[in-house]
């Protein structure tokens, strides 16, 4: 499936992926609020908002 993709987005720092010719790989290093002692629903909201920011930036980039 990756061989057919033009773009692959990896969220976080733990997942690893070898280079695939013809495929652009972006890594989104998202905020991890638990490292600052933020847990529960507030943690999830911060992560959600961070991913939303990345998605909007990617959508804008792809639109041009």
Alpha-carbon distance of 20 to 18, in angstroms, equals 6
**pLDDT over 80 at 4, yes or no:** yes
Superfamily of the domain at 2-63:
Response regulator (3.40.50.2300)
**pLDDT over 80 at 3, yes or no:** no
| 9 neighbors 51 (Cβ within 8 angstroms) | no
Place of tokens 């495929």: 23
Q: Which helix (H) or strand (E) holds 53?
A: helix 40-63
For 5-55, what is each residue's pLDDT tens digit? 899 999 988 888 888 888 999 999 988 999 999 999 999 999 999 999 999
Q: Where are the domains of the chain?
A: 2-63
**In this predicted structure, what is the pLDDT of residue 42?**
97
Strand ranges, E, within the chain = 7-11, 24-28
Q: Which residues, in sequence order, are bridge partners of residue 8?
A: 25
């Amino acid at each position: 499936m990756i061989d057919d993709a033009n773009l692959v987005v990896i969220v976080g720092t733990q997942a690893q992926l070898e280079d695939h010719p013809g495929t652009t790989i972006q890594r989104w290093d998202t905020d991890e609020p638990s490292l600052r002692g933020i847990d529960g629903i507030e943690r999830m909201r911060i992560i959600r908002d961070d991913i939303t920011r990345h998605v909007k930036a990617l959508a804008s980039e792809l639109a041009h």
